[in-house]
């Protein structure tokens, strides 16, 4: 039989362990045997954690929630890449069939001054929340929801806005970028609203405030390497970054 059912792997896992945000961390090595290739990467961690707990040791802290690729919580930097070796997936969607028997897998937390480690592989991504809070909203009248076709939106705009709105705020773009730049995330959030009629009221103030908040949090400056786009599990395009640059220029010079 090919890859898939019944195949089991023996692996060496090097995992970053760190007690808290203040402590200095280090790698811990674990030998794993009989890992099914049908397991997700997070399930492999569940197996390891159960073993650790049964041995009376402390389980490895890692973020996860939906386990179906939509919440953006899972955040491991696996063998030198955010979310591991596959393009367009989150860590919860990564399966052990992407690895070979005998592999050594290095697992690290997202590394960025703006994403301090909370514990082990879990990092604090509330910097993203503060950027959203600074301007990533629209003014709406409260009351009954309008009829969906009351405001007509060109198909191309709707499609681009929808594409930008697919961002799940996982932070892989920051983790992948050599500069720890948050431009892909922020530009997706700016674009999604700038493209739609509902976003026009705060359009200029929004981009100024969100870029200022992004800089404030200590993310680095974009150098257009494109690593973010290549690693984004939701295929957010670099076009959004160019759009945000235009939006900021438009908001500044007009």
Applying CB under 6 A, does 234 fall inside the site for ligand SF4?
A: yes
**Of 223, 235, 242, 252, the one binding ligand HEM by CB under 6 A:** 223
Applying CB under 6 A, does 224 fall inside the site for ligand HEM?
A: yes
Applying CB under 6 A, does 181 fall inside the site for ligand FES?
A: no
Applying CB under 6 A, does 186 fall inside the site for ligand SF4?
A: no
From CA 97, how far away is CA 44, in angstroms rounded? Answer: 12
CA 238 and chain centroid, separation: 16
- Dihedral of CA atoms 186, 63, 225, 137 in degrees, nearest 10, equals -10
Applying CB under 6 A, does 211 fall inside the site for ligand SF4?
A: no
Classify burial at 252, counting beta carbons within 10 Å of its beta carbon; exposed 0-12, middle 13-18, buried 19 or more.
Answer: exposed
| Cβ atoms within 10 Å, residue 148 | 6
Closest CA to 163 of 188, 138, 183: 188
Applying CB under 6 A, does 169 fall inside the site for ligand SF4?
A: yes
Residue among 46 and 239 whose Cβ is closer to other proteins: 239
What spatial distance separates the first Cα and last Cα of the chain, rounded to whole Å? 65
* Whether the Cβ atoms of residue 233 and residue 84 lie closer than 8 Å to each other: no
| 170 to 209: interface string for ligand HEM, x by CB under 6 A | ----------------------------------------
Applying CB under 6 A, does 87 fall inside the site for ligand HEM?
A: no
* Whether the Cβ atoms of residue 138 and residue 165 lie closer than 8 Å to each other: no
* Whether the Cβ atoms of residue 107 and residue 2 lie closer than 8 Å to each other: no
CB of 100 to other proteins, least distance (A): 16
* Whether the Cβ atoms of residue 97 and residue 107 lie closer than 8 Å to each other: no
Residue among 8 and 65 whose Cβ is closer to ligand FES: 65
CB of 6 to other proteins, least distance (A): 30
CB of 74 to other proteins, least distance (A): 18
| 90 to 129: interface string for ligand FES, x by CB under 6 A | xxx-------------------------------------
Residues that bind ligand HEM (CB under 6 A): 223-224
Binding site residues, ligand SF4, CB under 6 A: 167-173, 184-185, 188, 232-234, 236
């Amino acid at each position: 039989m090919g890859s898939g059912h019944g195949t089991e792997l023996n692996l060496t896992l090097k995992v970053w362990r760190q007690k808290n945000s203040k402590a200095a961390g280090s790698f811990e090595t674990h030998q794993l045997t009989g890992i099914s290739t049908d397991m997700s990467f997070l399930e492999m961690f569940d197996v390891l954690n159960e073993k650790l707990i049964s041995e009376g040791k402390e389980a490895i802290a890692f973020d996860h929630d939906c386990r179906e690729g939509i919440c953006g919580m899972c955040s491991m930097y696996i063998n030198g890449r955010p979310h591991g070796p596959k393009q367009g997936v989150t860590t919860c969607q990564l399966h052990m069939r992407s690895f070979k028997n005998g592999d050594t897998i290095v697992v690290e937390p997202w590394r960025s001054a703006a994403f301090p480690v909370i514990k082990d592989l879990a990092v604090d991504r509330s910097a993203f929340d503060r950027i959203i809070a600074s301007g990533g909203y629209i003014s709406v009248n409260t009351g009954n929801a309008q009829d969906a076709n009351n405001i007509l939106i060109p198909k191309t705009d709707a499609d681009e806005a929808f594409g930008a709105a697919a961002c799940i705020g996982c932070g892989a773009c920051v983790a992948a970028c050599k500069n720890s730049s948050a431009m892909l995330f922020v530009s997706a959030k700016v674009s999604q609203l700038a493209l739609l009629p509902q976003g026009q009221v705060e359009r200029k103030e929004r981009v100024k405030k969100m870029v200022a908040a992004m800089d404030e949090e200590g993310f680095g400056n974009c150098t257009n390497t494109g690593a973010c786009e290549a690693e984004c599990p939701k295929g957010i395009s670099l076009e959004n970054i160019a759009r945000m640059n235009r939006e900021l220029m438009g908001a500044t010079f007009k």
